[in-house]
Amino acid sequence: MRISKTLMTPAFGLTPLATATLLLASVLTTAGSTQASVIFELSAPGVKRSSVETPTTTEIFPTTGSISNSSGTFSIGNYTVTGGASIGSGGGPFDSRNVLSVGAGGAVSIEFNASIGTANYLGFYWGGGDANNRIDLYTSNSSVTPAATFSTSTLMSLPGISAYRQSNYFYEPFAYVNLTLSDPNATFSKIVFRQNYGGGGFEIQNVTVGTFTFESGTATPTIPAPGALALLGMAGLAGRRRR
């Protein structure tokens, strides 16, 4: 997976079909009414774990069972649960690791531990996705208002989402979602996975967080390969990323 930008001007590199990804560029509103550019990218169909090269930590949800209205510690930080949520076994369209399921009206909040501190990248396997799934990002563990919010309803309407739908699972999409804050000064230390009312659930696996260090480079046009699935949010320039 390639995520690139320039430091001076946010730019979203078009990802060719050769790397088998579906790219969506978007803008999230951050604290202080400042807008931070972000890059959303779906890994290739069938990919279930993050392939990001920067140092990362992955939450694999080691304990199964109900975690409704409870709190505890994951490997990436302390969590609190509001409403219905559980951790179950993987398999089927998921990989063998456990899966976090958030029920309608429920929320699972995870505050990063000291070893992680803050991050500007979040990846997760999105299983049986629906438009009521939502993610809130907070700049600090004490924040009560999210600095940025993303709804998966954006992904549900993408032209190329059909490549991720599973015919044996009601044609729901299964995809590894990569979210990166492109502003090198923008980070988050708490994430909340929510399932809005309206049916369905939010099934999540292999949650990965990390921090990129960006460096400026010569801006060059990025040319999509013929037959690319869907190329959105084109800005036409790509920078370089450093581990």
Task: Give pLDDT tens digits for 30-83.
Answer: 444 344 556 789 999 999 999 988 889 999 999 999 999 999 999 999 999 999
Q: Supply the pTM of this predicted model.
A: 0.78
What is the rounded average pLDDT of the residues 202-229? 62
CB neighbours of residue 205 within 10 Å:
26
Euclidean distance between CA atoms 7 and 106, whole angstroms? 37
Q: Domains in the chain, start-ordered, CATH in brackets?
A: 42-213 (2.60.120)
Q: What percent of the chain has pLDDT over 70?
A: 72
Residue 49 near residue 176 (C-beta atoms within 8 A): yes
Mean pLDDT of 94-103: 97
Note the pLDDT of residue 180: 82
- Per-residue pLDDT band at 114 (split at 50, 70, 90): very high
86, pLDDT greater than 70: yes
Produce one character per residue of 60-72: b if its CB has 16 or more CB atoms within 10 Å, e if not.
bbeeeeebeeeee
Query: What confidence score (pLDDT) does residue 215 get?
Result: 60
Q: What residues does 39 pair with on adjacent strands?
A: 25, 180
| Residue 58 CA: distances (Å) to CA of 21, 97, 122, 232 | 21, 11, 10, 28
Average pLDDT over residues 3-28: 33
> Which has more confidence, 183 or 178?
178
Q: Which residue has the higher pLDDT, 191 or 242?
A: 191
Give me the mean pLDDT over the 98-112 stretch.
97
Count of other CB atoms within 10 angstroms of residue 106: 23
Among 78-82, 109-113, 115-119, 215-219, which stretch is predicted with the lowest mean pLDDT? 215-219
Backbone angles phi, psi at 127, to 5 degrees: -110, 135
Q: Which residue has the higher pLDDT, 215 or 46?
A: 46
pLDDT higher than threshold 70 for residue 4:
no
The half-sphere exposure of 224 on its side-chain side, counting CA atoms within 13 A, is: 19
